[in-house]
Amino acid sequence: MAIPLASHSHLLAHPHLLAHPHLLAPPLPHEKQRWTTNSNLIKTHPSLLLIETCRDMTQLKQIHGQMLRNGIFHDPFFASRLVAFCSISPNGNLNYADLLLTQIHNPTIFTYNTIIKGYMIKDLYSKAFSIYQKIFEDGFLPDNFTFPSVLKACQDLNEGKMLHCHVFKLGFQEDIYVQNAQINMYANCDGLESARKVFDKMIDKNVVSWTTMIASYAKMDMSEEALDLFRQMGSTNASPNEVTLVNVLMACTKSGDLELGKQIHEYIERNGIELNFILATALIDLYAKNGCIDLARKIFNEMNERSIVSWNAMINGYIRDSDYKEALLLFRDMQVSNVKPDEVTMVSLLIACTHLGAIEIGKWVHLYIEKEKIEVDVFLGTALVDFYAKCGCIDSAWSVFKGMAKQDVLTWTSMIGGFSMCGRGQNAIELFEEMQKTGLKPDAITFVGVLTACSHGGLVEEGRQYFDSMMRLYEIEPKVEHYCCMVDILGRAGHLVEAEELVRNMPMKPDAFVLGSLLSACRIHGNLEIAQRAAQRLLELDPSNGGAYVLLSNVYGALGKWNDANRVRNTMLEKSIKKPPGCSLIEVNGTVHEFVVGDISHPRCTEIYAMLDDMIGRLKLEGYVPNTSQVLFEMDEEEKEDAVSRHSEKLAIAFGLISTAPGVTVRIVKNLRVCGDCHSATKLISKVYDREIIVRDRNRFHHFKGGSCSCMNFW
């Protein structure tokens, strides 16, 4: 049984009351009548004035006690003011509001609505709904102010339908505010079709109606429906507001409708709408995700106020544009601006570090996550696993993976792919088997990792079994990338006839990667007949594919057919076809340095080439003979040797040797496959200079140490 609130009348009086003793006396009979009959006087009653200046619940309870003594608490208006403070004021107490409700003899619907609103402010939806039920239990009926709040509190579609019935039975079905709340309720409870039915039946629609429906479609990734509705809105008297425009811009971003997004931008400028940080961020996201990074940066630079969302949108834009260096530079600006990064920022930075091979910056990000106690959810954990795996720190990746509270398919796939890239195919396969025991179903990307592991490990039979199991066990239709893996598995193992047969019988047309894998296998095993057919198909598919010419030329060269090799190279020169330029990245002291073949742009160029001469000289003493078979230009042997000595990875290694302390691992990221000469040279460099050198090329990791490579010359 609740304790009567009258028992609290012993509390100390409010300080303001003590300063005015005459306010403590109960009103005379004729005064009491005056306060309750004149609404203007009621509004200026001393007790109400005290509620307006009340600072906390202690004072509120004192006022309550005086109202009980004065006999005015049971007046519905006075009681509602007390309930309003307890419900809505930041210093109120909803439990006390509930207790007050039980003591009011004749509450009004306003009192119930106020408590519902209070629970909604604190996101206590079930409590708000229980007050709604109490309205009926106490013999009252909700009004048109009740439904917008309680509909917002609804978290269950069946409850929402019940409320809809109440709205109809009580005659509020045409109240525009109630209808807008119904649209929002249905959208939040996965009843989008019902939301649209309510919307379509509305006689009058205001901007909130249109915006709520558009936002509902945008939230459910139904961008085309949202944009179509926005176009319909243009033929009505309802003008879009900032919330409408933000949601439409979000829909434009997801659908890739850049043209409409630009029109909205023009509309904003033409109508003098303030470009607040929410609208500006939506525009940045639109432009950044649709290839207009310069427009996005222009808006970003002009912003007076930037939230963490704005910074993240811009950083992500650079990552989408593959400008990873700029993403890291922008993060440094963010730090200078004293904006604290969140988990979204961390994921973006790790993606940038992964692509750049910026291991030191990535490690700093990991330390920052731990220091700031940022929650490592499945997304951030997966980004860390992927970063370490693709930077060659496979043991660190494994440590993060094992420490995660939860892993999803992408996490397992990243770890499997990491083992595969680092030449630990058996570990990749074992992890794949363990993943299946957890009940997680592998996806198409998982199988790419597993098949790649089989390819790098020379596991032909295992590769056949996994490829066959895709459809048989998991109903995953093999895509062109899976066929590419199988061609690579068969080709590397010397099963060239079977590999060519697989290409011929593919259910889709082979792409450049499939034919390139077959051609590469022909180079390894010297099969000119299949190489010529593969090269012909590849050049029919892509006549300007320089890689196809180079591979075919190398096949001729490996077989001693130099006239044919020169003919292919001359064809390249005649058609102005060039092999994609090699590019190597190395991170030193948190800065990423980029090198291309014959690069002379680096500030330490003289030192780099001095070290390069030292390297080549010491390697030749160890028996190194430059492999010039892949030089595509007509020149004498000495010039060819000089050309291969200036390959980008050799320049990056030379820079690494002069820029780091003895014994420090040198890490290189290259955009192309490591050539045979650089592979042989790097093995010897690791021995001569007693350095571990890790190179990530387009295909895999190479861990060079003591004169050998982890790939066992199988790449």
Q: What pLDDT was estimated at residue 629?
A: 58
Q: What pLDDT was estimated at residue 512?
A: 86
Cα distance between residue 484 and residue 518, in whole Å: 9
Q: What pLDDT was estimated at residue 2?
A: 33
Mean pLDDT confidence for 511-516: 89
Q: Left, alpha or beta for 650 (phi > 0: left; psi -120 to 50: alpha)?
A: alpha
Give the chain's mean pLDDT: 86
- Whether residue 41 has pLDDT greater than 70: no
- Whether residue 557 has pLDDT greater than 80: no
Residue 630's pLDDT band, with cuts at 50, 70 and 90, is: low
Q: What pLDDT was estimated at residue 350?
A: 96
Q: Which residue did the predictor score with more confidence, 609 or 565? A: 609
Please report, in angstroms and rounded to a whole number, the separation of the first and last CA atoms in the chain.
80
Mean pLDDT confidence for 667-680: 88
Tell me which H or E stretch contains 584.
Answer: strand 583-588
Q: What is the pLDDT of residues 385-414, one digit of tens each?
A: 999 999 889 999 999 999 999 999 999 999
- Whether residue 636 has pLDDT greater than 50: no
Q: Please, are residues 270 and 258 in contact by the beta-carbon 8 Å criterion?
A: no
- Whether residue 140 has pLDDT greater than 50: yes
* C-alpha separations of 661 from 177, 589, 652, 665 in Å: 70, 12, 15, 9
Residue 67's pLDDT band, with cuts at 50, 70 and 90, is: confident
- Whether residue 118 has pLDDT greater than 60: yes
Residue 631's pLDDT band, with cuts at 50, 70 and 90, is: low
Q: What pLDDT was estimated at residue 714?
A: 65
Q: What pLDDT was estimated at residue 47?
A: 80
Range of lowest pLDDT (121-135, 537-551, 688-702):
537-551
Residue 539's pLDDT band, with cuts at 50, 70 and 90, is: confident
Q: What pLDDT was estimated at residue 154?
A: 87
Q: Please, are residues 189 and 178 in contact by the beta-carbon 8 Å criterion?
A: no
Cα distance between residue 303 and residue 637, in whole Å: 59
Q: List, in order, residues 6 or more apart from 629 with CB less than 8 Å away.
A: 554, 557, 558, 676
Q: What is the pLDDT of residues 201-210, one digit of tens each?
A: 999 899 999 9
Cα distance between residue 220 and residue 192, in whole Å: 9
Q: What pLDDT was estimated at residue 586?
A: 93
- Whether residue 120 has pLDDT greater than 80: yes
- Whether residue 439 has pLDDT greater than 80: yes
Could you give all domains of the chain from N- to C-terminal order, each with its CATH number?
378-574 (1.25.40.10), 583-709 (no CATH)
Tell me which H or E stretch contains 538.
Answer: helix 528-541
